[in-house]
Structure 1
Amino acid sequence: MKIGEISKATGIPVETIRYYEKIGLVPEPAREASGYRNYRQSHLQRLLFIRRCRNLDMAQDEIRELIRLADQPDADCSEVDALLARHLSHVRERLRELASLESTLEQLQQACSEGRTVSECGILGGLTSEPSANTPAGNSSHIPGTHGTR
């Protein structure tokens, strides 16, 4: 199977498949005499596994660890369970952060009243002022804590 075919079968863009190969999440396929990559069923299964993990918002390191664990089929699954527990904890933290973000956005939206000019806009004023004292330090990103790996 060529890269375009496996891309279509998995719904993963060609560039992403090449990236997964480059970082070692997917083994590099054999090449035909013409130089084209020749993907096998095992590549398709691995890419579908990765896509499902990404749909669960798992980080590359988490996926890499799951792949490592999957390659030990007779091992105790407690490490898999622990990884999922850590990920679930991360998701719950993000949900709390998103709830806080929602509250902040609602407060900003309430700062605007009809009939005012842009220069009087409470939303723009709120976005240009310093964060309130109850905003945790270090939580200045749009969704705090989502860009690190956990």
Structure 2
Amino acid sequence: MRIGELARATGVDTETIRYYEKAGLLPAPARGSNGYRIYGTEHLERLAFVRHCRALDIPLAEIRRLLEFLLHPETDCTDVDRLIETQLERVRARLASLQALERQLSALRGRCATGRLAGDCGILRELLAAAQEEVRPERP
């Protein structure tokens, strides 16, 4: 199959497929006499694996490590477990950060008094005050 067919079959953009090839996540495909890339089942399966890992927000470097484990099924998988545990910690940290962001936005939303003019907007005043606080030089 050609790159467009592979892209449609996996839902991965053609530029991303080329990037994954350059990054070593996909093996180089054979080339037809016309110079076009020719992908096989191996590419389809590998790309589906990479796509699924990316959907889990696993970084490319970690996906590369997971692929190595797939290529060497006889190796101990303790590092695979560690890798997923690390990813789970990252997700939990992001969730905590997003929850803090939600609280901040809710508090900011609470500053709104509907039906008022933008010049009297509590949200805009709060955002402006926070921005000014960030750029205010520190006092000795």
Higher relative helix content: 2
Q: Equivalences for 1:67-146 in 2 at 5 Å? A: 67-130=67-130
Runs of 4+ in 1 over 6 A off after TM superposition: none
2:33 maps to 1:63: no
1:96 and 1:26 map into 2 onto residues whose CA distance is 34
What TM-score results when the alignment is normalised by the length of structure 1?
Answer: 0.83
User: CA separation in 1, counterparts of 2:126 and 2:61?
Assistant: 37
Cα distance in 2, alignment partners of residues 85 and 23 from structure 1: 24
* Partner of residue 23, structure 2: 23
Q: Hey, what does 2:42 align to over in structure 1?
A: 42
The CA distance in 2 between the partners of 1:21 and 1:125, in whole Å, is 49
Question: Any gaps of 5 or more consecutive residues in structure 2?
Answer: 134-140
**Greater relative CO, 1 or 2 (CA 8 Å, sep 6+):** 1
Name the count of aligned residue pairs.
Answer: 132
- In 1, the alpha carbon distance for the partners of 2:126 and 2:25 equals 43
Identity %: 48
Unaligned runs of 5+ in 1: 134-150
Deviation at 1:126, TM superposition (A): 1.9
* TM norm structure 2: 0.89
Q: Distance in 1 between matches of 2:61 and 2:123?
A: 38
- AA aligned to 1:98 is L
Give RMSD over aligned pairs: 1.4
Task: Give the match's secondary structure for 1:57.
Answer: coil
